[in-house]
Amino acid sequence: MTKQIVIQGEAGSFSHMATLKIFPKAEIKFCATFEEAFLLATHKPEFNLVCPCENTVAGRVPEFHSLLRRYSLQIYSEHFEKISHNLLGVKGAKLGSTVKNVHSHIHALGQCRKIILDQKLKEVIESDTAYSAKYVAEKNDKSKSAIASELAAKIYNLQVLKSNVEDEPNSNVTRFLVMGKKTKHPEFIEEKNFITSCIFQLKSIPSALYKALGSFSGYGINLCRLESFTLRNTFRQVAFYIEIEKHIEDPVMQKALEELGFHTQDLTILGCYPASSYRSNN
């Protein structure tokens, strides 16, 4: 049976590239916004969502944590994708002569400052990199260029004017998560590395965060991520997203989560999944 995947963005986006690496033969549904993609995966359990959550240069995806809390999709796996930006143009476009403008997502533009300044290009901010390539192809104007993936160049029949135009080559990596509605997790094997992700909201008492984190330190459990984000319609309290280097069925982890429950008013387990080999190799 063909895997059905939903992603945010146009064909040729970096999410599209990552999905093809994870699920080479997947049937892909493209959505305009992250919320639309989350909604589809929530209402149609046959779809899995592939979503970027953070980037080594741009940081975390702004909407990601609030959408995770709102829709409570389960995380099944993680994937790290190296991002390589390319300057694309229509046939006959040339750097240094015809190309005057560059279209792309604000983060892509920010990651390619050197070539933009060197070529004195006027920046035009678009919704995403793949849309930028699609727009340039549709306009068929030699003065316009786009910063996007090599896949986008192939899809929209654009020429690569210059490859690897990012300011920091080899250091731009995006982490993607594969998620879905159904609750499932891999078998607990003690010799393997796993990540468990949770979102919790603390009780409003002194030292609540200190006590909550003590639930893990007391059992020698390592947290590889701790992030706070504001809750909708209030400045008074925040929620916390954590990633824990333990399988949820590990007896020690069970004790830690039980203790964590005493210090929280809301605790949501978002999934347990194998730790990517990228973690240990980089």
Q: Is the dihedral of CA 19, 21, 23, 26 positive or negative?
A: positive
Cβ atoms 241, 65 nearer than 8 A: yes
SS3 labels along 123-192: EEECCCHHHHHHHHHHHCCCCEEEEECHHHHHHCCCEEEECCCCCCCCCCEEEEEEEECCCCCCCCCCCC
How does the average pLDDT of the chain come out, rounded?
93
Angle of helix 64-71 relative to helix 34-43, nearest 10 degrees?
20
At 3-62, the pLDDT tens digits run: 999 999 999 999 999 999 999 999 999 999 999 999 999 999 999 999 999 988 888 888
Tell me which of 3-17, 62-76, 129-143 is least confident. Answer: 62-76
Helices assigned H by DSSP within the chain:
14-22, 34-43, 64-71, 106-110, 113-118, 129-139, 150-155, 208-217, 251-262, 277-281
Cβ atoms 52, 15 nearer than 8 A: yes
Joined tokens for residue 213: 């984190």
Cα distance between residue 271 and residue 183, in whole Å: 8
At 234-265, the pLDDT tens digits run: 667 789 999 999 999 999 999 999 999 999 99
Domains of the chain and any CATH numbers: 4-82+173-180 (3.40.190.10), 86-162 (3.40.190.10), 194-281 (3.30.70.260)
- Residues forming beta bridges with residue 227, ordered by sequence position: 241
Among residues of the chain, what percentage have pLDDT more than 70?
98
Q: How many CA atoms, within 13 angstroms, populate the side-chain half-sphere of residue 114?
A: 9
Cβ atoms 143, 100 nearer than 8 A: yes
Among residues of the chain, what percentage have pLDDT more than 90?
82
Cβ atoms within 10 A of the Cβ of 132, count?
30
Q: What is the distance of C-alpha 157 from the center of its chain?
A: 27
Angle (CA) 52 9 59, round 5°: 30
Residues 6+ away with beta carbon under 8 Å from 168: 57, 111
Tell me what the mean pLDDT of segment 85-104 comes to: 96
- For residue 235, the model assigns a pLDDT of 67
